[in-house]
Structure 1
Amino acid sequence: MRGRGLHFHFHLWLALLFALITASFGISVKNQSVRCIAAERRALLDFKKGLIGYDNSLNLLVSWTSKEEECCKWKGVGCDNTTGHVVMLDLRPRITYGIFGGSWTAISGVIGTSLLELKHLSHLDLSLNCFYQIPDFIGSLSDLTYLNLSSNPLTGFIPLQLGNLSRLVYLDLSTDDINQSLISDNLEWLSHLSSLQLLKISCTNFTKATNWLQVIQSHPSLSVIHFGYCDFAEVDPSSLVHFNSSNSLSVLHLIWSSSLHPSTFPLLLNISRNLVELDLHHNQLSSLIPDSFDNMPALERINFELNSLEGGIPKSLGNLCHLKELNLRDNKLSGPLTFAVKNLSGCANDSLEVLKLDFNHFNGSLPSFVPFSSLRELDVGSNQLSGHFEDNFGDFSKLNVLNLDENGFTGPLPDLLRLSSLRELYLRGNRFEGLLPVNIGKLSQLVLLDVSDNSLHDVISEAHLFNLTKLRYLSISFNALSFNLSSNWTPPFQLDFIEMSSCKLGPQFPSWLRNQTNFYHLDISHSNISDNIPYWFWNLPSRLMFLDLSFNQISGRVPNLPLKFDRISLIDLSSNLFHGPIPQFLSKSTTLDLSNNMFNGSLSFLCTNKDSGLSYLDLSNNLLSGGIPDCWIKSRRLTIINLENNNLSGVIPTSLGSVETLQSLRLRNTSLHGEIPQSLKSCTKLKLLDLGENKLTGIIPPWIGERLENLIVLRLRSNKFHGDIPSSLCHQQFLQVLDLSLNNISGTIPSCLNNLTTMAHLGSSAATIEFSYYYNDVYDIEDSTTAFFARTLNGHLLVIWKGVEQEYGKTLGLLRAIDLSCNKLSGEIPREIASLHGLITLNLSRNMLKGSIIKEIGQLKALESLDLSTNNLSGVIPESMSDISFLSVLDLSNNNLSGKIPLSTQLQSFNATCFAGNSRLCGDPLNKCLGDESPKLPNNGGTEIIAESDEELFEPLWFVTGTIAGFLVGFWGVFGSLLISRSWRHKYFQLVNKLGDWIRLTMALETVKLQRRLRLKD
């Protein structure tokens, strides 16, 4: 989207080289004037016998038959115009392109030795196939100038015999499969390829080839080298002393290497004085950028993207007078951006065209780029820049791309009219405020405009948009922008990407969208539309991939459109007023969210596709009826299913167990009956399982604890389950919410609950419970490239919290809850529960529990809600309960508790109903206990003396009084001595400081005790 980058130049170079090689040998694929050599024809047929897996529908080898004698006419075969010898063999599959990319049927089998009969073969292309070995005999094809085995799953050693191909100009052994690996223990074979100009190798282990850099640097003809995903040995710098830098190397790509030693980095900056292009992206380099670019004065393009480079930009980079592209994005470079740009202000400021510094840690204000007169693309997004965006560019007629995304820029947007060539403007995620300049509508070359997620407030009129005839990408979401466009306004552009979430487009549905007939992405969610959706809107473009109309008040029916869509990535119509049945075409989406509407009818539309691509399905809070269809075997990619709060019925279908990718299953409040199907034990990735508020029966299956090892939330509330709580649930080390309330469960509470590891730790997980799934979307407006994007959603759950049903979303991950209330549990509360230190809510009410409240309950210091009411608990309330300082909900009512309620600020703050129904319980806030008030006894003189408890009350007063008196006497005694001796003064003042600190602490503690006793006395 922001330019094709360095790879464009590299692939252009490859295309030109291939064209020159092909032309130089006068290859003819279908030349009527030459006849095939019989021996070579037989060799080709023998070669074909060793191949398997080819598809005749591709018409690649279908012409290779014994009936067709002219092998020069066979597909993939090229002969010399004069001699008729086979000089070219190109079996690269022909790729068929579709909406999700290319597809082909590869050839596999054995590369047979019959190729040795093709003695004049100069061009061999077996790329994009399924060959696993590089045969040694290829080194005997001495006329080869072009060898391409790329994109094969090659393994094993690179044969040393390749070194015999002295005429080879082009060698490509690269692959896209990083799970495959070639090995080369020595690169000596490469030094013998004296004619080689281009080398591409990937996924190769060179860790034993200590001479790899020597061979490259001393090679006489290598001009282009591309290493990808390779592992290299550390280079001894002294081994390069006797080697001059290369005179031929002009392009070096060494990318995606996890083992490139930091000491090798500066050595690569001395590899060739003629180097034009240096690409070291994604190599885990973590040092400073060496200040030694003076050794490569011819450099035009540098790419150090996706490393961990630190520090700033060295001055020698600014001395590269031919430098056109500098890509340092996604590193850890830091410091004021002003200093970094100043270091580039040598002769490079006249040549530099592309500067990418985004995703670093540069700070400060935006410097002036006026000296960089050739700059076409500037990317400083995702840094820590701040201040105003002012006139930093002057009269920049060449600037095409400007990216200031995700910084801290403030203030109004400047007039950008002088940037007359601007094609892409990225200002997302700053704090720009004020109006959107009307002159932005005069940037006639603008293709992309993104000002989303700022604080702009304005009314968008036709003047803002009138001259944007080339605009294809418009994102203005999350601003206080509204639209004032006439109902008959016709936009001057055709947009591909429309994103206007949280802008005010309504109340009427925006009529100007009728003229947009080519978009693939439309987001007008949260846009204050309260209108019936017009029928013309459903004439959606066939290339549609993303549609979000959520959180409006749009009403009407969704028509059953023709199935013209191959696949739609996302359809979100949630939180509107849509009604009627769900049409079949919506099942074509990858992400489908129709929640919080009034859709009715059945779920049969889910069964219409032979192979569903759904990964996210949310139909909750509608009026859907009937059973859940048993066709989930077609939906093997589903990650999230939410059907809760509908009028469904029937049983949980067995085929749901075939969705092994499932992470969240929510079927709450859907009137389901029957047992939990055993097939669900195959859904081992489940994190959230909510089957609450149904009519499910049977026992709680033990396999939930044995097989569903990733469960974070298990909610089976309000069903008809019976039997014991299976002890296997204790195996759930990630479980944070366990709700089995309102069932008929009996037996005892398992004593192994202390094995619930996550509940045993404070703050052991993130604030949210996240579920990730993938959808594809177009990410490059220049060539409409599609890619898969990960989307992360927060889980949400209804929880009875503080006696009220509340929905947890972004903070669900912080909740630790056990609710076993309203069952028939018996026995005692297991002491092991006290080990669950992270527990926030515990509800064991309305059971038949007996025994005492565990005395260790005070260890649950994070507890905020505790309900043990309506059981048969007896004994006293443990003193340790006063240590639970965050307790805000407590109910111990309707038990057989006795004794005095422990004294604490927390417990006495609850009203009496929290302790009611315990006839032998006393103390604040209930009635006072007997003996709380001691009688007053007469003395011999008829006067009253204070009881022992009152004497204890005044005990601290004497202590405080004595302490003060002692302090005063001691102080003045010492003070007199201090007047006499200067050295004593220093020592005594140190002692007095320490003594004073001790006294203040003691007085504070005794004062607190005194206040507490006075309060109890009253």
Structure 2
Amino acid sequence: MKGLDLSMVGRDWVHVMNMIPSLIKLRLPLCGLNDIPTSLSHINFTSLRVLDLQNNFFGSEFPPWIANLSNLVSLELNGCDLHGSIPMAIAELHHLQVINLGTNYNLTADLSVLLEGSWMAIKIMDLSENRFHGEIPISIGNLTSLVELNLGYNSIKGRIPKTIGNLCGLRKLNLYANMIEQIPDSLETAGCILQTPFANLAFLLLGGNPIHGSMPAWFGQLKRLEWLDLQDCLMTGSILESLGRLPFLNMISLYRNSLNGTLPTTFGQLSKLRYLDISSNTLTGIVSESHFEKLFELKTLMLSSNSLIFNISPTWVPPFRLEFIDLGSCRLGPRFPSWLSKQNLTQHLDLSNAAISDTIPNWFWDIASHLSHLNLSNNYIHGQLPSQISFSGWATVDLSSNSIQGPFPLPMKVSQLNLSNNSLVGPIPENINHVMQIASLLLVSGNQIDGTIPSAIGEMMYLRVLDLSRNNLHGSIPPTLGGCTQMEALDLSGNHLSGPIPESIGLLTHLQTVHLNYNNLSEELPSSMKNLSRLETLDLGENKFSGRISTWIGESFLSLRILRLRSNTFTGEIPSQISNLTSLQVLDLANNHLTGPIPSSLGNLTAMRTHQNRNILLAYGIYYNERIYIITFIERLSVSMQDKMFEYNKTLSLMTSMDLSEKYRIL
């Protein structure tokens, strides 16, 4: 039975089954069982050969009585929320061929002891995603019936013993995400007919381990290898050319190591290769057409964060149609790579920091209609963008830090758009809310945008980050902005905005960072701002705000890290309530018209008195993804030191500063 709801039967179901001595197979996966006894007074169902209880939620210790099922051939208890130690007697079940205890998360045993058992018939062993520890013993080489060994996501340490090569029939070896430090330079092959290591191995997953040293030569002898995963290790040396002569390879991941040298041209002969990720290493040299000669099946190409130089003919027609391309920080320019014109299945394209000094060709926008992710940032791209651009639904588009000219573009089907640090001119289109209605992030800082902020922006209900800083905008902040109720980050600094902050800002209760500095804003702060209880940064410096500094700043903004009100016309005393802001690291009230004593309670600002030794990137608006570049709003702040202003961003969390003077002071 599978999927039958037995959640109400309690633990009696085991006792009922135990009354059937002739029972051979018991399969109850995904049945909602939530209880299993840890002891039985006697075992009747000793004929049981198959026990499949996977994906029930027992939440108990591993039942020791299972080790007494002497005829058991297959045991599947994966995903059952079991915990505690595995009885060593389970290794002496002489008929056991399959054991799957994966994804219980809290099962434990010392592998150096557990794998010393006989395991006479074992073929498939899955102990992944648990808390198994210790080292893999030399005796692992005695388990010669093993076909699959999955020990990924545990706490195994030490080295892989040479004797593992005696597992002549092994097809899958998964040791991913442990603490293994060493791979043997050579393997024992005693008893293997062909006297070659792992003659049948198809899947080798060793990534996520602190493995030192270079690739052993025997990697290049795994003639039936299909998957090679060595990502997130500490491997050094060059990539083996012999890997390019393994005819069945369809996945290679060497991401984030310290590999050097060049990309072997032999990789161009891997006709079954579908996935190639060698990003985040220290590779150098030329990449030419020969590197891709027979990669007919390639779908994913990731070579970013190396120092590779592409030398590809503009007339080259690639043999593949890629879906995922990440070549960030490879040198592809100066011309825009014409071979991309044939990649009409691509969904993800990253050519950032690729030394491209060219206009974007017209044919590219036909490809863009399939893209859900485009990153062309940090190049020298110039020219205008088309008036109408469309991407695949909810796309992420980053064209920042180029030399793109012309009016403000309105790309369709885009959720995250970064056009910062270009040369865009003219106003923000009034119909932005209709064309970009799904936008959650809009970064257009550092351009020459003028005119007023259109009231229609307040109808962009998904907007979480709005950065229009360092432009030539004038007029007032539209009250309709209060309609962006999901807003987390708002930066309108460095413009020519005037008038008061609208009362409607109090509707933006998700706001965490507000930058309105370097404008001509005036009047008193609206009392509705006290509703912004999640604020971490409030920068209103270099404006014409007046009145007293409100006491509610110290009562409502208890998460505030940065309070910057410098160079305004605030009057009165510094409110003692500011001392409630125990997370405050930067307090800048300089160049106002404040009077009275400095409150002694400011000495209670805990974060200022604490040495900040852990750097945290202060970023807002978008969830973090390690492998895929995702646009976000990174906090920044100008801090005065010795009559000069310094801007901090990535190390801002380490800063502690207080300035209450007419001149500059820093602690």
If the TM-score is normalised by the length of the shorter chain, which range does it land in? Answer: 0.7 to 0.9
1:671 Cα deviation (Å)?
A: 3.3
- Decide which of 390, 393, 406 is 1:556's aligned counterpart: 406
SS in 2 for 1:758: helix
Q: Which residue of 2 aligns with 1:457?
A: 309
Q: Is the 8 A contact 1:164 1:192 kept in 2?
A: no
1:739 shift after superposition: 0.4
- The change in CA–CA distance for 1:486 and 1:474 in structure 2 (over 3 A counts) is closer
- Is the CA contact 2:314–2:339 (under 8 Å) kept in the aligned structure 1? no
Q: Cα gap change, 1:474/1:274 in structure 2, threshold over 3 Å: closer, same or farther?
A: same
Aligned to 1:382: 232
- 1:900-939 to structure 2, matched below 5 A, reads none
Q: Which residue of 1 aligns with 2:157?
A: 310
CA contact (8 A) 1:188 1:215 kept: no
- Which string of whole-angstrom CA distances, capped at 9 and with x for unpartnered residues, describes residues 349-370 of structure 1? 1011111112222222222223
Root-mean-square deviation (CA, aligned residues, Å) is 3.7
1:405 is matched by which residue type in structure 2? Answer: Y
Which letter does structure 2 place at the counterpart of 1:502? N
- For 1:367 and 1:717, locate their aligned partners in 2 and report how far apart those are by CA, in whole Å: 61
Deviation at 1:320, TM superposition (A): 2.2
Q: Is 2:652 the partner of 1:805?
A: no
- Corresponding residue SS for 1:525: coil
Q: How does 1:727-766 map to 2 (within 5 A)?
A: 727-762=576-611, 764-766=612-614
Residue 770 (structure 1) aligns with? 618
Equivalent position to 1:171, from 6, 21, 28:
28
Does 2:403 align with 1:520? Answer: no
C-alpha distance in structure 1 between counterparts of 2:42 and 2:420, whole Å: 61
Residues 1:532 and 2:389 are matched in the alignment: no
In structure 2, the residue matched to 1:330 is: 177
* 2:321 paired residue number: 470
In the alignment, what sits opposite 1:695? 544
One-letter identity of the residue aligned with 2:418? D
Aligned-partner Cα distance in 1 for 2:60–2:537: 46
Q: Of Structure 1 and Structure 2, which has the larger fraction of its residues in helix?
A: 1
SS of residue in 1 equivalent to 2:187: helix
Partner residue in 2 for 1:134: 7
Q: Which residue of 2 aligns with 1:35?
A: none
Deviation at 1:707, TM superposition (A): 3.6
Matches within 5 A, 1:363-374: 363-368=212-217, 369-374=219-224
- Please give the alpha-carbon distance, in whole angstroms, between the structure 1 residues aligned to 2:41 and 2:558: 52
In structure 1, what residue type is equivalent to 2:655?
L
Q: 1:189 to 1:299 in 2, by over 3 A?
A: farther
The residue number in structure 1 matching 2:665 is: 842
Deviations 1:933-954 (A, max 9, x none): xxxxxxxxxxxxxxxxxxxxxx
C-alpha change, 1:713 and 1:778, in structure 2 (3 Å) is closer
Q: Are 1:288 and 2:135 matched, yes or no?
A: yes
User: Residue 712 of structure 1 contacts residue 734 of structure 1 at CA under 8 Å; is this kept in 2?
Assistant: yes
Q: Contact conserved, 1:134 with 1:159, CA < 8 A, in 2?
A: no
Q: Kindly provide the amino acid, as one letter, of the partner of residue 676 in structure 1.
A: L
1:319 to 163, 166, 175: 166
- What is the 5 A alignment of 1:351-370? 351-368=200-217, 369-370=219-220
Q: Select 1:342's aligned residue among 179, 187, 201.
A: 187
Alpha-carbon separation, structure 2, partners of 1:331 and 1:475: 28
| 1-structure distance, mates of 2:557, 2:112 | 47
User: Which residue number in structure 2 is paired with residue 819 of structure 1?
Assistant: 659
Counterpart-to-counterpart distance in 1, 2:383 and 2:150: 51
Q: 1:358 to 1:713 in 2, by over 3 A?
A: same
Q: Distance in 2 between matches of 1:806 and 1:778?
A: 29
1:497 Cα offset (Å): 1.5
Distance 1:805 1:201, change over 3 A: same
User: How far did residue 399 of structure 1 move?
Assistant: 1.3
Structure 2 Cα separation of the partners of residues 189 and 161 of structure 1 = 15
Q: 1:248 to 1:329 in 2, by over 3 A?
A: closer
1:261 corresponds in structure 2 to 108
Over 3 Å counting, the alpha-carbon distance change for 1:822 and 1:190 in structure 2 is farther
5+ residue gaps, structure 1 = 1-20, 22-122, 127-132, 137-157, 176-180, 780-787, 824-840, 844-862, 864-1018
Structure 1 residues 698, 486: closer, same or farther in 2, change over 3 A? closer
Partner residue in 2 for 1:299: 146
Relative distance call for 1:404 and 1:640 in structure 2 (3 A) is: same
CA–CA distance in structure 1, aligned partners of residues 221 and 235 of structure 2: 20
| 1:690-733 CA distance string (max 9 Å, x none) | 12223333332333333423322110112232222122222333
Please tell me whether the aligned partners of residues 458 and 484 of structure 2 are also in contact (alpha carbons under 8 angstroms).
no
Q: CA deviation at 1:662?
A: 3.2
Question: How far off is 1:501 after superposition?
Answer: 0.4
CA distance in 2, matches of 1:310, 1:404: 21
Tell me, yes or no, if structure 1 residue 494 matches structure 2 residue 345.
yes
Supply the AA of the counterpart residue of 1:342.
Answer: L
User: What is the match of residue 911 of structure 1?
Assistant: none
The CA deviation string for residues 254-283 of structure 1, in whole angstroms up to 9 with x for no partner, is 2252x4333478437859655444333332
CA contact (8 A) 2:171 2:202 kept: yes
Residue 495 (structure 1) shift: 1.6
- The offset of 1:506, in angstroms, is 2.8
Q: Which has the higher contact order (CA 8 A, sep 6+)?
A: 2
CA deviation after TM superposition for structure 1 residue 748, in Å: 0.7
Give the 3 Å change call, closer, same or farther, for CA 546–495 of structure 1 in structure 2.
same
- What amino acid sits opposite 1:401 in the alignment? M
Match of 2:456 among 575, 586, 605: 605
Q: Which amino acid aligns with 2:228?
A: L
Whether contact under 8 Å (2:111, 2:132) holds in the other structure is: no
Deviation at 1:532, TM superposition (A): 1.2
Q: How many residues are aligned here?
A: 647
**CA-CA distance at 1:338 after TM superposition:** 4.8
Larger Rg: 1
> Alpha-carbon deviation of 1:326?
1.5
Distance change >3 Å, CA 628–CA 492, structure 1 → 2:
closer
- For residues 370 and 559 of structure 1, do their structure 2 counterparts lie closer, same or farther at Cα, with a shift above 3 Å needed? closer
Please tell me the residue identity of whatever aligns with 1:456: L
Deviations along 1:32-82, one digit per CA (max 9) or x if unpaired, are xxxxxxxxxxxxxxxxxxxxxxxxxxxxxxxxxxxxxxxxxxxxxxxxxxx
Residue matched to 2:285: 434
- Quick one: percent identity of the two aligned structures? 28
For residues 330 and 339 of structure 2, the distance between their equivalents in structure 1, rounded to whole angstroms, comes to 25
| Pair 1:310–1:656, CA change in 2 (3 A) | farther
- Residue type matched to 2:230 in 1? V
Please state how far the C-alpha of 1:508 moved relative to its aligned partner.
Answer: 1.7
Distance 1:724 1:183, change over 3 A: farther
> Conserved in 1, the CA contact under 8 Å of 2:335 and 2:358?
no
Q: 1:694 to 1:291 in 2, by over 3 A?
A: same
Q: Deviations over 1:567-600 (max 9, x none)?
A: x442111111223324223341333212122334
How far apart are the structure 1 equivalents of 2:547 and 2:226?
69
Residue 547 of structure 1 and its aligned partner are, at CA, apart by 0.8
SS of residue paired to 1:481: coil
Deviation at 1:814, TM superposition (A): 3.4
What is the SS of the residue equivalent to 2:554? Answer: helix
The equivalences for 1:196-211 within 5 A come to 197-201=51-55, 204-207=58-61
- CA drift of 1:778 comes to 13
Q: In 2, distance between residues paired with 1:791 and 1:485?
A: 23
Give me the TM-score of the superposition, normalised by structure 2. Answer: 0.85
Q: 1:510 to 1:191 in 2, by over 3 A?
A: farther
Is the 2:108–2:131 Cα contact (8 Å) retained in structure 1? no
Distance, in Å, in 2 between the alignment partners of 1:758 and 1:547 is 37
Taking a change above 3 Å as real, the CA distance of residues 421 and 223 of structure 1, as seen in their structure-2 partners, is same
Distance 2:304 2:322 in 1: 16
Q: Is the 8 A contact 1:462 1:485 kept in 2?
A: no
CA deviations on 1:16-41 (whole Å, 9 max, x unpaired) are xxxxx7xxxxxxxxxxxxxxxxxxxx
Partner SS for 2:392: coil
Structure 2, gaps ≥5 residues long: none
Shift of 1:666: 1.4
Asked if structure 2 preserves the Cα contact closer than 8 Å seen for 1:461 and 1:485, the reply is no
| 1:54-73 matched pairs, under 5 angstroms | none
